[in-house]
Structure formats: structure tokens, C-alpha cells
Structure 1
Amino acid sequence: MGKVPEINSEIRFAIVVLHNEGKSERAIASQLKLSKTCVHNAIIRYKETNSNQDRPRSGRPRATTSSEDHFIVVTSKRNRRQTAPEIRAELNKSRSKPVSLTTVKRRLRDANLFGRVAARKPLCIEGSHRLGHKEGLQEVGTAAPPGQEPRSRGC
């Protein structure tokens, strides 16, 4: 049988109140539409801990410490062109257990640093830009010396 969702602390509190009023576990289960096992476990847990709160869970430990997270962010901000694999290589030099590339990318994303490629400058259409530039120079009166073509500054 699959796992069922946990009951919250308010429902556990209601179970304890009904139990203290003298109702049986079976009556509480039918009234709150829960299983008898769920009601029983909630009562036992309350008797052991005197609390309706969830117990702390271990969870998966983080791969990096907060100082290493800070190092990743600062390294990226100092050199914006540095890639995540380069940051990972630099971080792994000082660690005994290597950090994955995904972890580095996740830490950067958490700091609102996203990898982007710069927009390319629009290409000049051959001839049209230079012609316009020459015409502009001649209008202003700063044409190139005889025999030389004015230099283009754009492309």
C-alpha cells in the first residue's frame, strides 16, 4: 500500500482533545474520517513527546557550505565571463570531495545569476554604411585628402 499524506498538527490536536474527552480511537477515526492506525499513532506520539509538532527530519545534507556558496557567487561576479565548469574546477581545488557542475549552476541560479549570451552587434550591409559615411563627410566638408578614401569607423 502506498504512502498517504501526513496529517497536520491541527488534526493531531483534535485527536488528542477527543481522546482526552474519553472517546475511543475507533470513534475518533470515524468522526475525523481517518484510519484507526493514524489516530492510534497520533495519540502514542503525543503521550511520548507531549507535543503535536512534527519531529525534525535529517534530510539530505547540502553539498556546499554557506561560505562555499558565497565563494561561487563572488567568483562569478568578479569575472562575468567565467563559466560554471571553470568555477567548479576552482572550487574543487580546495575540497576533498568534488562538487558537481549542477550544484554550481544551482547556487548561481539561487543568487539570481543566470548564464546569458550577449546579443550580437547587427552586421553592416556591405557598401551601404560606407557610402553613407562618405556622403556625411563630404557634406560636413571634412573629406579625405586627394587620392585617399575616408576611413569607416563602424564595421
Structure 2
Amino acid sequence: MTLLAVHLALTAAYAGFQWTVRALVYPQFALVPPADFPAYERRHQQRITWVVGPLFAGQGVTTLWLLADRPGGTPLPPVLLGAACLAVVLAVTAMGAVPLHRRLEEAWDDAAHRRLLRVDSVRGVVATAGTGAALWALLG
């Protein structure tokens, strides 16, 4: 039960973080003067890593643990769904958000910013689904 509660807390924290970034942080990128944006973006990347890194690591640990040694009575489908959600978030981050941040680190680009907002919406939706899966696993 403790593992399931920790997993739920991590997935919920990440989903809340992701929606905060999507609704508050990324829209404010457009307010930074273009000449200042590359330096701003580099600082953003450095600072955000301290928040998202532990959330990704924690979810990775609890997800692998649940896959390897699921607590008795915990249904398998929500564990698999949660693992799939985390995999999608990580893939969308690696293949979508990271390259867009690298592009924005070079210079402000309206099109890249719009794509980043779309990519981030996907991450928010999938992270929320992962939280739902974690709650389902806990309530099993």
C-alpha cells in the first residue's frame, strides 16, 4: 500500500507540475524580449531540471518496482497503463520538448514555441492519465 501511495503522490505531483508549466511557465516565454530569450531559456532549462528530474526518477523507480513486484491485490491493468503513460511522457519529452528547447536556446522562434505548447499539452494529458492509473491501482 505504501508503494502505491508513493507512486500516486509522484504521478500527481508530476501532473500538477506539468499543467503549471503548460498554463503558466511556457506562455510567459513569449513575454521575454527575443534578444534576451536564449539566456533566459538556458536558465530555465538549468532550473527546471531540479524539479522535473526527481519527479521522473521517482516515477521511474516506483513504476519499475510495481512492474517487478506488484503488491498483492493490485490489478495489473492500471500498472501497465501507468507504465505506458510514463513511457509516452518520457518519449514526448525526449523527442518533442527537448529538441524544441534546444531550438529556443539558439533564438526565439514563434513556431517552435507554439509546437512546445502543443507538446506540453500532450504531456499534461498523458501525465493526468498516469495519475488516474495510479489511483486505480491504489483503489484496485
TM over 0.5: no
Report the TM range for the smaller structure's normalisation.
under 0.3
Using CA pairs below 8 Å that are at least 6 residues apart, which structure has the higher relative contact order? 2
TM-score of the superposed pair, with normalisation by structure 2: 0.23
Considering only CA atoms, is the larger Rg found in Structure 1 or Structure 2? Answer: 1
TM-score of the superposed pair, with normalisation by structure 1: 0.22
